[in-house]
Structure 1
Amino acid sequence: MKYLLSITFICFSYIRFATSSFCYWNTACSYRYFSSVTPYSAVRGDIRDSVINIKECEPVSIWGLFRHGRTHPAAKRAGKMKEAISIRDLVVSSYEKGRCSLCAQDIDNLRDWPVNYDLFEKTNALQDEGYQDMFGIGYRLKTVFPQFLDKLEHESYLFKPSDHHWSKESAEAFVKGLGSQNLVIDNQKILNGPDFIFNDGIDSSQKEDESIDEANEYTISSEFLAANDRIQRRLGIDYSLTDDNITALYDLCRYSWSGLHNKASPWCALFTTEDLKVLEYIEDLVHYYKNGYGRKNASQFGHKPLQDLLQKFQRAKEGKGNIITAYFILAETLEATFTALGWFKDSQPLTAVQKGRDRFWRTSKFSAFSSNLFMVLNRCTNKDVTDYHVMFYMNEEPLRSVCEGGICSWGEFERILSPFLNSTQRYSD
């Protein structure tokens, strides 16, 4: 199934060599894949265009995992980003002395960039872009299934966010996008026993450094050191950039990119496309060894949502299930679920010395802000014979190779999900 999950980026940046580098401001297609900070607009489809319709079939139930919308960075990250803003003056000064290889317009854009203090002070807050993205997903689903999702009764749906204010606000935006009145979001936290919504897939007792060892190894690799050297020479500043400085500048680039208005951040001009790919890979390594195939038993943390999916659809077949079930989660749960399914798995593990340009594990693709995985159960009737089919969608595009043509028979669906039905999820390695 790996060929299904390969990632193709159709937009390429053409490097124009002038004195020594390219001009970012007028690059035909700026690189905008920033691991889990990637804007949803960079990866999403449109369910209105891509929905699979089968003759003589009607939707019975929708089940989905929805990562929260775009947020401001966490406090620790935000603090380092705020400190790194002072490097801007060094870059401008370097350009004026003829040492910096950025283009004049890139320098103007960087100099004129207005400091958005909300970025540093309203940490983890849902941005307007994140709200609009989540609203849009709900709106488009309602547009595709207008009668099915109209006038939902209280016992016919479940909207459940994780216990984080940005997830709750994302759920509110999604529900508002559905356009139905008086829908209730279930904000009650389950206190007895593990629950995938609130554990968000990963045991909080895991030490942070256990998930970044390989990433740290990559920072001393020849590939990363070459990128570090390119950045230093490109900026032409006397100050020697540390790894923390480069990470903070990268965060300024990706957190101040506007996906809503498709407006690139002037901070991204500090990097070449190859530099951005190197920094993206560091993030992929962190996620791979925290939530993915690089962590022993990581797939166990994705069993619970898949178990819930199968049970919800089994009940829907019996006429007792929800019309729609939507969970609003963190990236950890989404990545652990993909790992449990065996998706985005490379033939060789990701390591500090083995970065495949065509790797399947690309968090920019499947773990961007507002990324989602949802399934639609359809009941089909032909000559008084009733059957059921399930369609898989990721980021509003059909996963056509999960089953032929993107349409899974009930038997195929059960074969995919049945291994998770009686699994025991353990929250330790």
Structure 2
Amino acid sequence: MSDLTRVTEPVRLSLGDVLRLGFLGISTRKLRAVLSALGISLGIATMIIVTGIPASSQAALLDRLTALGTNILRADPVPQQGDPLKLPEDAQGMAARIGPVTAAAVVGNTHMTVRRSDLVDPLDSGGLTVLAGSLDLPSVINAHVYSGSFLTTAGSHFPTVVLGSVAASRLGFSRIVPGQPAPEVYIGDTWFTVVGILAPMPLAQDIERSVIVGWDAAKTTLGFDGHPTVVYVKAQEDSIESVRAVLPAALYPQSPGLVQVSLPSEALAAKRATESSFSGLFLGLAGVALLVGGVGIANTMFISVLERRGEIGLRRALGATRGQIRGQFLAEAVALSGLGGAAGIVLGILITVGYAAFQGWPPVIPTTAVVLGIVGALVVGMVAGLNPSIRAARLTPTEALASV
């Protein structure tokens, strides 16, 4: 009797056996499996595309915003009556020693007037300022030379200048033509050679209206005292507020309240608002895509149970348990959804990379979207196949075989 009992005990299936049974159902109905997986594939591909393409566009936008100077601070003395505050001559080095600061530059007002000719009224400044500037100024404020070149280490000792875009326009210069005599401007009682013209800088309009002289030349030729009037600081963007808080004390420790520091530009606020608005949109679109794919898988599995009642009845008659039937159909649903999800991820990545390359954007494939795509496909397959697998397991052998 004990031997008979052992013979009638159901065979236990390993996880590998259950997965093979699940893939068997897919392989025997290849066309239907492809069509069923197509729904989840399009859903996951849509999720990758609607996150990847806007993320690529966002990366290009943020690069442009960063180029405008979202990580730059401007420090200068607070306007006051009487003698203005003079920042230390080593203000550039003092600012550069702050931890998150990546670069610093300085300019100093020489209080001189620039003229196109020595025949022009000396009191007619044209609204332009003559500044002594450090050599690393362009890299700190993201300035670009439109024509010619910026001041060099050797050239900063000689009477040479670089014009801001507005200053060049008001002085009547459009560009530096190679091979032709360089234009000159008259500052104080000395002619200075124009070696470069800067491109427009929307976030540094004071530089646009300035004539920049080498620091050493300003001291030797124009009587500049060497005290900077403005300190520009480039810092790590996530630490910009912290740098702003400590910069006055670093530049003028005896009275930090006499130094004002500009707030981060409005471009930084726009950049952060763009990040948050895109995140909410991605979440909603991804949810809709997964819901559509899940409905397709559930519908396919319901139909599969109805059409395979004979198979279910035969397996039940041969000793398969309800749990084994349930596991078979659940594994089939998960495998079908997983294959569709994998295909959707590949399709979504290819479309995203191709479109980003066409637009000239840096391709960005959010890792979170890929991981959620894989996990989401498996979860959706499990949820979609749960009810059909339970219905299949509830069929008795007689009910299932009666439909054959």
- Bigger Rg, which one: 2
Answer yes or no: same fold by TM over 0.5.
no
| TM-score of the superposed pair, with normalisation by structure 2 | 0.25
Q: Which has a greater percent of helix?
A: 2
